[in-house]
Amino acid sequence: MQCNCSIFGDEQSHEAIVIDPGDNIEDIVRVLDRHGLQVKAIVITHAHIDHIGGAARLKSLTGAPVYMNRNDATLYDHLDTQASWLGMETPSQTEIDSEARDGDTLQLQGTEFRVLHTPGHTQGSISIWIPSENKLIAGDTLFRDSIGRTDLPGGDGRQILRSIHDKLLTLPDSTVVVPGHGPNTTIGRERERNPFLL
Ligand SMILES: [Zn+2]
């Protein structure tokens, strides 16, 4: 479904964190196997089906806990509605194991993955900042030259701008942004050129 899924693996411990397994779980498992990685956490940036659709399946294959912000619980409960919009079958659903609150930190060996609550695209949208890797996984909050749509249930146009200005544009300019869709960018580039943020 054209959603960017990120896999972070530690070379020493062979532990991995998978962010947004929307679909194509076989491809994800193939990458994990190729590098001998064991999934320690499945992190969901928000409960849209293209980001969370494969979470239950990946969890059943790996036993890893699922992290999602609780403000998207209702959206996840309506996965069948989302599936019907796209004319697809409803994927199986899973329990959410951890709430992924603002300020929470996940660890992959020494590497910190920090949860930033960035509501606006959905109420439970989070971004994951990995300071030591100089990377931000932005979900559908910030794109290259664009921002997430806010016309779907739970969307709020003012709120997404506040989230981006307060939580994302305050990160270092060199931070590489991996959006939920499309090509990577940097915080500096979006601060300077993103037409929605000028
Ligand atoms: Zn979305």
* Tokens matching residue 196: 């929605």
- Ligand 1 centroid to Cα of residue 167, in Å, is 18
- Ligand 1 centroid to Cα of residue 35, in Å, is 29
* Tokens matching residue 155: 């969307």
- Ligand 1 centroid to Cα of residue 195, in Å, is 20
- Ligand 1 centroid to Cα of residue 121, in Å, is 7
At 50 the three-state DSSP class reads helix
**Is there a contact between 45 and 59 (Cβ–Cβ < 8 Å)?**
no
| Mean pLDDT on 15-32 | 97
* Tokens matching residue 90: 């409803």
The pTM (predicted TM-score) of the whole model is: 0.97
Strand runs labelled E in 47-196: 66-67, 105-108, 111-117, 126-130, 135-139, 142-143, 146-147, 176-179, 185-186
Q: From edge to edge, which strands make up the β-sheet containing 6-9?
A: 6-9, 15-19, 38-43, 66-67
- Ligand 1 centroid to Cα of residue 48, in Å, is 5
- Ligand 1 centroid to Cα of residue 104, in Å, is 21
Q: Over the stretch 78-127, which tens digit does the pLDDT of each residue have?
A: 999 999 999 999 999 999 999 999 999 999 999 999 999 999 999 999 99
- Ligand 1 centroid to Cα of residue 20, in Å, is 11
Q: Over the stretch 138-186, which tens digit does the pLDDT of each residue have?
A: 999 999 999 999 999 999 999 999 999 999 999 999 999 999 999 999 9
Q: Over the stretch 52-72, which tens digit does the pLDDT of each residue have?
A: 999 999 999 999 999 999 999
